[in-house]
Structure 1
């Protein structure tokens, strides 16, 4: 499988990024191990988590990193995987925070939970809109020089603050972001394509979209309000049950039938066909779900398929 080079880094990843948000939430440790084992066995190597996953369960988070750390230790395969985690999100008891103090404390806590001496890709998870950009980048410089982090990336950072980050990095020799993790999928396009895609192109960022399947909506599992109770995430897709969302599902059904595939696989293949997209972030709670995800890189949609999907979408 051809790997994707992340920005200007020397990291190379297979084109699916396994989301760890379900570890310690809808999956226990053994179930998480099973998914991780299957993912790696199929030639993939990129795992995404955050220091606050799954804070909505216990108020503080840390379960996902702990499970991944236990898995890395038990399998002895740290050198075979690329680990991405994040800093800066809020929890029940702590606000958004990308201050130097919080970064230096959080990176050590993440390393301890992950049972590793370095993080390959460290994200600014959310901007706190108050810490000076130079303070944040300088803190990253400290942890990179200490060997605790290899490269940094950005997720929910406003375009203006991203621009300031790159300007300061160039001006003062501070670390620069090599990747971007935005909210982007077939039913959530305008924000990324209008505001962030030009920045990704300008700064050579590799893009790893989160909620790549729109919280499960693009699997076709939810087609009416009666379907929302099928999982704990069902309430989050209610907003897509409209004319546009259902038209997207119809287009996915048509293309999936053509390839004897699934809507989820097609939705991910569409993402992978977009400029600068490296590896969509997708979680799985069963091996059957994982199979539909890891099939996406091999599915090459033709121009007609891409146009059919595009035509069903209101930007």
Structure 2
């Protein structure tokens, strides 16, 4: 499996990152273990999660995904140094969204305990926090790096202006900067990443791991009408894509699928892998057949004509 350099972190990641948001939600522990086993057997190596996953599920408290990953790590045949673990801090775990130093220093201990590991490979600020100076947040991360509890830092949901401001603050204060960005980016949602943010990431050599890479499952082609979504766990997240633009994208995916024999999800991820600035997309799976399909996308080469067709459909 071809590995990709994750910006300036010193880490190498395979082209597809497995999304841990479904662990403890639409994938129970047994299924999650099987998916993680198959993921690493396929030559892939990076798991994305967050402390808040999956608090939205009735009966869950948050930390559920990290706990499942931790229990898997404790019994997996994969050695810890072969796995790249990405998790996030700052979402509302009962205290509101915050990136204050005292909160980060406590939250990391909780994540380490749940993950059953001594260190986190990439620790991300999950959401911007306008009430906390960049210097305070980055200072907390600097302490954790010095203690060996985290290896690299990054952020999610930052726009170009905010990311640049964090770089400026880091340089002025002599603190480590964010070296990884996790933005929402897919065939449907393009405007927030393409342009100034992608340009900045390329200029500054930032590793980019995209989330909602399959638009909450819409780009798998499974959901083509409201009736397809009824009673599904993702119904509320997918319905917004069922418009003229979404249907154009599905038609383009069907066309490329007919030409290549690849599934729409595989094509959607392969499209991302050719886009400017992208290191690896995150995608989740709730079955081994879905995982097998995701793995195929890592080596799927799309023609220039296919890329142009998809670009036009999602414009």
TM-score (norm 1): 0.97
Aligned to 2:82: 80
Aligned to 1:45: 45
Moved over 6 A (4+): none
Give 2:249's aligned residue.
248
Distance 1:236 1:32 in 2: 22
Aligned residue for 1:177, secondary structure, equals coil
| Residues in 1 aligned to 2:206 and 2:112: alpha-carbon distance in whole angstroms | 25
* Superposed counterparts of 1:52-63, under 5 Å: 52-57=52-57, 58=59, 60-63=61-64
Residue 71 of structure 1 corresponds to 72
Whether 1:206 aligns to 2:207 is yes
| Uncovered stretches (5+) of structure 2, i.e. residues with no partner | none
Pair 1:94-2:95 in alignment? yes
* Partner-residue secondary structure (3-state), 2:32: helix
Is the 1:124–1:157 Cα contact (8 Å) retained in structure 2?
no
**Which position in structure 1 is the counterpart of 2:17?**
17
Q: Which moved more, 1:171-180 or 1:139-148?
A: 171-180
Shift of 1:96: 0.6
Tell me if the contact between 1:87 and 1:125 (Cα under 8 Å) persists in the aligned partners.
yes
CA distance in 1, matches of 2:289, 2:236: 22
Q: Indicate if the aligned counterparts of 1:18 and 1:48 stay in contact, CA closer than 8 A.
A: yes
Provide the rounded CA distance (Å) in 2 between the counterparts of 1:60 and 1:69.
16
Cα distance in structure 2, aligned partners of 1:231 and 1:195: 36
Count of equivalent residues: 313
Deviation of 1:235 (Å): 2.2
Cα pair 1:127 1:158 within 8 Å, conserved: no
Task: Report how far residue 257 of structure 1 moved.
Answer: 1.2
Query: Once the 2 structures are TM-superposed, how far is the Cα of residue 313 of structure 1 from its aligned partner?
Result: 2.0
Q: Distance in 1 between matches of 2:264 and 2:35?
A: 21
Summarize the alignment of residues 52-201 of structure 1 with structure 2, pairs less than 5 Å apart.
52-57=52-57, 58=59, 60-75=61-76, 77-91=79-93, 93-201=94-202
Asked whether the 8 Å contact 2:199–2:277 carries over to 1, the reply is no
* TM-score of the superposed pair, with normalisation by structure 2: 0.97
Is the contact between residue 99 and residue 129 of structure 2 (CA under 8 Å) also seen in structure 1?
yes
CA–CA distance in 1 between the matches of 2:134 and 2:81? 32
Distance 1:51 1:270 in 2: 29
- Is there any run of 5+ residues in structure 1 with no aligned partner, and where? none
- SS of residue in 1 equivalent to 2:22: coil
Partner SS state of residue 47, structure 1:
strand
- For the 8 Å contact 2:159–2:192, the answer to whether it is kept is no
RMSD: 1.2
Report the equivalent of 2:29.
29
Quick one: distance in 2 between partners of 1:196 and 1:89? 22
